[in-house]
Amino acid sequence: MPPIHAWLALALSLQRGLAFSVAGHDGTCEANGSVYYVGEWYFLDSEHCTQCECTADGSACARAECASLPAACIHVSHYPTDCCPRCEKIGCEYRGEVYELGQHFQPSECEQCTCDSDGIARCLVADCAPPPCVNPVYQKGKCCPECKEGPNCFVDSSRTLVIPGGDPVWVDPCTRCRCHDGQDAGYWEGNRLATCTRVPNCRPQATRGGAAEENLGGV
C-alpha cells in the first residue's frame, strides 16, 4: 500500500487538473467588474495604459508601448486619458522664437539660419573682410561695417592724424605720406599706418606771417 504522502500528492494533482479544465471549459475572464470571453481585448480600469487579452489560461496583460515622438517635437502634452505623450507642435526653437520646419530666418544681421527636419536650427555667420579704413561705421540692418568717409589710414603710430587713401598727401612741408587706396588688400591687413617719405635736407622755416616754408638745402 502506498504511503499517505503519495495519496495526498495524487489528490492535489487531480484537484489542479479539475480546476484547469473548468477554467478552460468556461472560457471567460473576469476584470473591471465584467466578464470577457477568450479572444477579447480590454484595458484595465485601474491602469488604463495596460491592455489585456482573455485567453484559455486567463488574462494576459501588458502595458501599452508608446511610439517615439518626432525629433522636431517642441511641444509635448500629457493628457490624463492618454497612455502616451502627444506631440502638439513640431519645428525649431531658437533664442526663444519658434520657426517652422524648412523655414529660413535671420535672427541677427550677421546670421542666416534654417530650421532643419530634425528640429535643430543651423546657422551661418557672416565673415566680414577687414574694412579699408580706421573709422568704420556699423549700419542698422547690415552685418559688416562700412567706411562712410572712404578708405583711409593713420599717418603714424600716434593715431592722431587720418589721411584719405589714394594719392600721396603732404602732412607737413617736408613729409609726404601715402595711404592705401582700397585696392591694396594685402597692404591693408594688419597695417593701418601710411607709408611716409621725408624730403632730404628739408628744414621748414617760418615766414613773416608765421607759416612754414620749405628749405631744400639750396635746391
Residues 135 and 173 placed together within one structural domain of the fold: yes
Q: Fill in the amino acid letter for 28.
A: T
**145-202 pLDDT per residue, tens:** 889 888 889 999 888 999 998 889 999 999 999 887 656 655 555 568 888 999 998 8
Q: Are residues 103 and 137 in the same domain?
A: no
Is residue 12, in this structure, part of any structural domain at all?
A: yes
| 20-29 per-position pLDDT tens digit | 223 334 688 9
In a domain, 68, yes or no: no
Query: pLDDT tens digits for 37-54?
Result: 999 999 888 887 888 999
The pairing of strands 58-63 and 92-94 is unpaired
Distances (CA, A) of 10 to 17, 75, 139, 215: 11, 63, 98, 137
Domain shared by 103 and 173, yes or no: no
Residue at 193: amino acid letter? L
212 shares a domain with 150: yes
Residues 56 and 114 in one domain: no
| pTM, 2 dp | 0.47
**Are 109 and 181 contained in the same domain?**
no
Contact 73, 90 (CB under 8 A): yes
Is residue 84, in this structure, part of any structural domain at all? yes
| Total tally of structural domains belonging to the chain | 3
Q: Give residue 97's domain range.
A: 73-125
Q: Is residue 192 part of a domain?
A: yes
Last residue of a domain, one of 125, 140, 167: 125
Residues 6+ apart with CB under 8 A from 135: 147, 149, 152, 162
Within a domain: 89: yes
